[in-house]
Amino acid sequence: MFPTVSASGLTLRYGGTPALDDVSLRLEEGVTGLLGPNGAGKTTLLRVLATAVPADRGVFTVLGHDPGTAAGRQNLRRELGYLPQTPGFHPDFTAFAFVDYVAILKEMTDRSARHREVSRVLQAVGLSDVRGKRIKRLSGGMRQRVALAAALVGDPGFLVLDEPTVGLDPQQRMRFRELVAEAGEGRTVLLSTHQTEDVAMLCRRVIVMSSGRIRFDGTPAELTARAAGRVWSSAERDPGARAGWRTGLGSFRNVGDPPEGAELLEPTLEDGYLFTLDGEPVREAAA
Amino acid sequence: MRAHENHDRPDARDTGWHVDDEDLRAYVQGELTAPRLWSVDTHLVACDGCRRALAEVSDPVALDMGWARLDAELDAPRPGRVESLLLWIGVADHTARLLAATPVLRRAWLVAVSAVLLLTVAASSSLRDAASPTLFLALAPLLPLAGVAVSYGPALDPTYEMTVVSPVHGFRLLMIRTVAVLVLALGVNGLATLALPGYGLRALAWLLPALALTATGLALTPRLGPVLAPALVGGAWVGTLAVARATTDEATLLPFTPAGQVITAAVAVLAAVLLYHVRDRFDLTARARFGAADGVL
């Protein structure tokens, strides 16, 4: 399959801090999850791919467009939908006016065609009924859906979503996941998240980042399988475990190298993620 | 369009006119342009007769498109006051929406600017024996500089990150907002100038410095950032005036003399040339905006 995004050797430092360290990846159609702890470089990678900030080194293309040239950057941006980590709004705008504003930024100057498109995306995210409400009067979940509608306007081929489910309650999160799953049909979506459930439910592929580098690149099942035979239960916190936490039943769930005779548990995606964070890179991403 | 003469299109909510067949055909084919398009949209909502006539002149596919367009127009809420005003004076609807999102056009900022200017004019007027309204002339150029600074950039534009990755050229957006802010700020300054009739043309000596400061602040923004650049330019202006005051006993400071105005005009032109030269750099985000200190790597 022809890759939507092809990146090689992306490196970016903020002062002395490496935010991206020689990152290479290829993205194809469907939803790809980007997991990692705070400071892993997820947001920086998304900002570079969205052309919000330039990398110090490395090259990438999106749908064949090279952002290294002014024309390539503009063509790339025409194919881009971007939902930043903390999307800003003009709070006095209505939901319709805000999405309309973003549509104008996407060069849709024909009023009728633009309004049809704005109505379409507001309907797609289930906000038709509140289209005339000011954004400052909408709930957090609704605002997030307004931001998603703004990212979807113009039917972009590459959708970049930076932690879109943060701050949403469980019901809103489920609704949002449905929307992202629908958005992933027929286009490439890169979804940064802290939530392994987001990845488990949405993504056909997952990338794990840590300290600006890619630590894992594969399917969610492969990430889960990394922790096979590495998860065990104990009554007390096991000091030899790479990670351990108390479960709702009061016992501890540990990830790492189990002691002899330990009660092994079936691994989850979260176990595979935690195991990978503390381990060596499994394989570098495809160049 | 024509007056209400077509009696075969009666309607309970008589609007006084009907859409003629030619316009209806253009409407269904998507060829009708604003503002006539808007009038037809509005009229079709109210006039049953014209809706039936629309069906008669349309092929089914084109008719569906026409209804879809009408639905979209009905979905669109009414624009706000600023936007309505801009539309009323003839600004294109997409430009009006871009301007309505400009922070500086907000009422609070305009009120604050007007208050500062009123105080300045009052202070200058109280010095009835002064040969030059120096305080007013010193302050007036800073207002458009500050206005442009707060109209664009990550610190005050909540949608900056979404804006910078949009295909609309950043420099074009900057110029649209700059022109709007200049019109507004220069208009306020101009009104304040009218309150100082005793000084004649000397009260207009703020205009060229205002253009020079604004253009210089913008030209330095890609290198210094949208906060530091105007701050430094404003500081340099105040410093220049302080030096001029310290080195002369004349009532009119050098920047407001004919020679000073020529120099200021030259600075404005040079800054404009430099600004054009660096226009592509407004398409990229300042790195400092997303530094490690944000904790959002």
- Digit-coded pLDDT (tens) for A45-58: 999 999 988 899 99
Distance CA B64, CA B78 (A): 24
- Digit-coded pLDDT (tens) for A72-91: 999 999 999 999 988 888 88
Residue B134 and residue B39 share a domain: no
Residue A233 and residue A206 share a domain: no
Chain B residues whose CB is inside 8 A of the A53 CB are 284-285, 287, 290
Residue B104 and residue B210 share a domain: yes
**Structural domain contains residue B4:** no
Contact A156, A62 (CB under 8 A): no
Whether A53 and B166 lie within 8 Å, measured CB to CB:
no
C-alpha triplet A257, A258, A260: angle, nearest 5°: 130
Phi, psi of B221 (to 5 degrees): -60, -45
Print the domain residue range for A168: 1-79+156-214
Q: Does the structure show a pLDDT above 50 at A6? A: yes
Counted domains in chain A: 3
**Structural domain contains residue A34:** yes
CB-CB neighbours of A146 under 10 Å: 28
Best of A45, A105, A162 to substitute, by most chain B Cβ atoms within 10 angstroms, is A105
- Digit-coded pLDDT (tens) for B225-253: 888 899 999 999 999 998 988 887 777 88
Chain A residues whose CB is inside 8 A of the B96 CB are none
Whether A118 and B72 lie within 8 Å, measured CB to CB:
yes
More confident residue, B184 or A155: A155
Cβ of A73 under 8 Å from any chain B Cβ?
Answer: yes
Cβ of A102 under 8 Å from any chain B Cβ?
Answer: yes
Considering only A22-31, A100-109, B43-52, which range has the smallest mean pLDDT? B43-52
ipTM, two decimals, is 0.82
Residue A147 and residue A94 share a domain: yes
Considering only B24-28, B93-97, B163-167, B265-269, which range has the smallest mean pLDDT? B24-28
Residue B262 and residue B137 share a domain: yes
Residue A155 tokens, joined: 């039917």
- Digit-coded pLDDT (tens) for B152-161: 767 777 888 8
Kindly give, in sequence order, each residue whose CB lies less than 8 Å from that of residue A63, ignoring residues fewer than 6 positions away.
A4, A76, A79, A157, A158
Whether A115 and B68 lie within 8 Å, measured CB to CB:
no
Q: Classify B90 in phi/psi space as left (phi over 0), alpha (psi -120 to 50) or beta.
A: left
Report, as an integer, the average pLDDT of A28-35.
94
Residue A201 and residue A143 share a domain: no
**Structural domain contains residue B133:** yes
**Structural domain contains residue B87:** no
Q: What is the pLDDT of residue B181?
A: 81
Model confidence at B75, pLDDT cuts 50, 70, 90, reads low
Contact A270, A196 (CB under 8 A): yes
Whether A96 and B77 lie within 8 Å, measured CB to CB:
yes
Residue A177 and residue A229 share a domain: no
Residue B158 tokens, joined: 């909540």
Cβ of B73 under 8 Å from any chain A Cβ?
Answer: yes
Model confidence at B125, pLDDT cuts 50, 70, 90, reads low
Q: Does the structure show a pLDDT above 80 at B67? A: no
Q: Please give the C-alpha separations between residue A58 and each of A7, A49, A214, in angstroms, as whole numbers.
A: 7, 11, 15
Q: Does the structure show a pLDDT above 50 at B291? A: no
* Helix A111-124 / helix A140-152 crossing angle, nearest 10 deg: 130
Q: Nearest by CB to A84, which of B71, B79, B161?
A: B161
Considering only A196-210, A246-260, B259-273, which range has the smallest mean pLDDT? A246-260
Number of A to B CB contacts under 8 A, please give it.
Answer: 145
Q: Classify B153 in phi/psi space as left (phi over 0), alpha (psi -120 to 50) or beta.
A: left
